[in-house]
């Protein structure tokens, strides 16, 4: 027992001691300590078994990936970093990322994966790189080839049977490679990159169980009252009974699956107020309350997606920086960022402002002190938001509970289970 505790204190990823000799145990744990990224499935299993939720945080820059990993290490929490489908296009150098091509996405997926591997492969906590809102099979394949360990295929806009068919196709391809798969059923209102809907369609619990059974997905994004974007409406009440019904039926039929809450940014009022006090014009910005999200966790929600909160904090930090150091407004390397901030007062997506330093975003190149200062703004904003939500969602200290299975190990398990 003393040796097991010592291993974990030394920073070993979770995982189980096996009934083999000590040398094998020691070698296995050493390998796990220095392994690169893990698939999402073992983390999902931990959230399901130990009844907590894991925040999943979207990144669009090397600095964001670095900050997300570092703050999770500080709280001894496993980390889920998400690159949205079009974030791959942006990280591939496409500033007009809404028009990103498959080739752009391939380049961007490799850039994001390289950054996550750089800061995560020797991390003392498990790290997952997950594709958010994969648009089609080719986008998913590009992410996997680029280095993602988990993918989402979003067929929610398709008829039910077509969604099942597309999702099952992705599951077969991904599981053969040990990659975790998330699907989506039901439609969230709001806007996030290319994902748009004027209204919501709640997830039917019976359809959700059938979806899990036929597709073999590992987790499922459901529509139960959340919304994409910064304007979710005042005092949103989540329909937690939808999650409860799905999990009850799945438990009855002995089907494993974790439910995912998309569009779950909390949109902190203090950050919105600070942006507006610094000359911004962000109106009607309301998020999902932390209390509502916390109450959904015991109902079966194990993964909670957050993007807008990070955008807000980073945007606030950059505005604050230029207000504090007005001489930097004319900087040769970052002055154009200030111009874009002033030109787009209603915008909160940092990608609208940071295009003058694309090489820094894509590759982590920091050519001078001014760019280093902006990079610091990005990292601080990420850590402020992510650290808060790690605590609120209950994943603090849970890293040792997550088994650090490799992709090859997961592929073998999927094969043996026939999924």
φ, ψ for residue 97 (rounded to 5)? Answer: -65, -20
Q: Torsion over CA of 120, 123, 126 and 131, rounded to 10 degrees?
A: -10
Catalytic machinery residues = 132
What sign has the CA pseudo-torsion 136, 48, 17, 29?
positive
C-alpha span between 143 and 419 (Å, rounded): 21
d(CA 154, CA 160): 12
Angle at 365 between CA 364 and CA 366, to 5 degrees: 110
Q: Are 192 and 263 in contact (CB under 8 A)?
A: yes
Helical (H) or strand (E) element with 340: helix 335-343
Is residue 130 within 8 A of residue 94, CB to CB? The reply is: no
Q: Which two tokens stand for residue 136?
A: 């089609």
Q: Are 232 and 263 in contact (CB under 8 A)?
A: yes
d(CA 285, CA 296): 22
Tokens linked to 229 = 């974007």
Distant-in-sequence, close-in-space partners of 376: CB < 8 Å, separation ≥ 6: none
DSSP element (H, E) containing 133: strand 127-134
Contact 246, 205 (CB under 8 A): yes
d(CA 181, CA 222): 14
* Whether the Cβ atoms of residue 208 and residue 184 lie closer than 8 Å to each other: no
Cα 95 to chain center, whole Å?
Answer: 21
Count how many Cα atoms sit within 13 Å of the Cα of residue 84 in the half-sphere of its side chain.
22
């Amino acid at each position: 027992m003393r040796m097991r505790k010592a291993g974990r204190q030394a920073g070993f990823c979770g995982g189980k001691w096996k009934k083999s000799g000590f040398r094998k145990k020691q070698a296995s744990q050493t390998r796990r300590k220095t392994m690169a990224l893990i698939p999402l499935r073992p983390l999902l299993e931990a959230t399901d078994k130990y009844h907590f939720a894991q925040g999943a945080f979207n990144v669009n820059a090397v600095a964001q990936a670095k900050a997300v990993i570092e703050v999770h290490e500080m709280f001894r929490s496993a980390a889920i970093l998400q690159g949205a489908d079009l974030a791959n296009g942006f990280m591939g150098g496409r500033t007009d990322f809404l028009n990103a091509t498959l080739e752009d996405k391939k380049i961007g997926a490799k850039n994001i994966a390289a950054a996550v591997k750089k800061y995560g492969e020797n991390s003392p906590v498990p790290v997952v790189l997950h594709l958010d809102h994969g648009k089609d099979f080719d986008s998913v394949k590009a992410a996997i080839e680029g280095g993602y360990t988990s993918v989402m295929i979003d067929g929610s806009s398709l008829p039910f049977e077509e969604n099942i068919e597309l999702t099952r196709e992705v599951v077969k391809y991904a599981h053969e490679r040990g990659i975790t798969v998330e699907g989506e059923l039901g439609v969230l209102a709001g806007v996030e990159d290319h994902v748009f809907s004027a209204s919501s369609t709640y997830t039917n619990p019976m359809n959700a169980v059938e979806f899990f059974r036929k597709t073999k997905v590992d987790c499922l994004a459901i529509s139960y009252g959340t919304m994409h974007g910064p304007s979710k409406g005042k005092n949103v009440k989540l329909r937690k009974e939808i999650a409860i019904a799905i999990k009850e039926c799945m438990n009855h039929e002995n089907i494993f699956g974790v439910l995912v809450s998309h569009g779950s940014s909390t949109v902190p009022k203090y950050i919105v107020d600070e942006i507006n006090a610094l000359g911004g014009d962000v109106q009607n910005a309301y998020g999902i309350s932390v209390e509502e999200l916390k109450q959904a966790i015991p109902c079966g929600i194990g993964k909670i997606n957050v993007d807008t909160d990070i955008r807000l904090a980073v945007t606030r930090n950059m505005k604050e920086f230029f207000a504090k150091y007005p001489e930097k407004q004319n900087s040769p390397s970052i002055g154009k960022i200030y111009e874009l901030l002033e030109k787009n007062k209603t915008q909160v997506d940092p990608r609208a402002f940071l295009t003058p330093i694309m090489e820094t975003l894509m590759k982590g190149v920091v050519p001078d002190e001014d760019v280093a200062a902006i990079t610091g703004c990005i990292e601080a904003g990420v850590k402020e938001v992510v650290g808060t939500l790690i605590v609120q969602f209950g994943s603090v200290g849970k890293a040792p509970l997550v088994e650090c299975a490799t992709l090859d190990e997961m592929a073998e398990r999927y094969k043996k289970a026939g999924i």
